[in-house]
Amino acid sequence: MFEDRPARDNEIVLVGRSNVGKSTIMRELTGHAVPTGKKPGVTRKPNHFDWSGESFMFTDLPGFGFMSGVEGEHQETIQTDIVHYLEDNAEGILAAVLVVDGKSVIDIIDRHSERGNIPHDVEMFHFLEELDIPVVVAVNKMDKVDDKDQRLNDLCDRLGLFPPWQQWQDDTIAPITAKKGRINSLREALSHHLHEAKRDDLLQFVKK
């Protein structure tokens, strides 16, 4: 079980598969370097970033799903810990950013579905909704995607959202390229959820 969580009332969490860019997004949002690496599974415990005097933080949760070089049993332990963390802290989570790789997410979802499995990304999206945690799907690495609108429409379809994706861009679907610092759509969506939660005092942490 994840321990050493800072005593903060509210947080925004980042969740997603390994190697989709969560730590890079965390760095863009906080201006603070967090451990990243080409090898999936670098983040094994939550990375928290908070501000003194503020009862708020960003939390980068470990990647879930397949990780090369990580034993299956350990992968499952991490996934269980992520689920427990979200359940235990749901009341204070103002928004969850579900990060996916725009280039590969549809193939991954379809591959799992064809095998009769519920894809992790889809399962996590609905799990967060069940916990009443507002979800923003940050579709990362969009600079590597040619048919952007089609890809985003397909993603909406897989998540059970009616296309076109543009109707979800204010609060749910945020196409970004974190490595190049292009995360404005994510900032806007998070601003929307903070405003809805009547926490305009926190907008300074998601706006540039």
**pLDDT by residue (tens digit) across 3-33?**
788 899 999 999 999 889 999 999 999 987 7
Pairing of strands 10-16, 173-175: unpaired
Task: State how far the Cα of 156 lies from the Cα of 63, in Å rounded to an integer.
Answer: 22
The model's pLDDT over 119-150, given as tens digits with 9 standing for 90+, comes to 999 999 999 999 999 999 999 999 999 999 99
Q: Where are the domains of the chain?
A: 10-205
Asked if the model's pLDDT at residue 76 lies above 90, the reply is: no
Asked if the model's pLDDT at residue 67 lies above 50, the reply is: no
Q: What is the pTM of this model?
A: 0.92
Phi, psi of 111 (to 5 degrees): -65, -45
Task: State how far the Cα of 63 lies from the Cα of 81, in Å rounded to an integer.
Answer: 11
Cis before 62 (ω within 30): no
Q: Are 97 and 12 in contact (CB under 8 A)?
A: yes
Percent of the chain topping pLDDT 90: 75
Run of H or E residues at 15: strand 10-16
Write the DSSP symbol of residue 12.
E
Task: State how far the Cα of 121 lies from the Cα of 99, in Å rounded to an integer.
Answer: 9
Asked if the model's pLDDT at residue 79 lies above 80, the reply is: yes
CATH of domain 10-205: 3.40.50.300
Asked if the model's pLDDT at residue 1 lies above 50, the reply is: yes
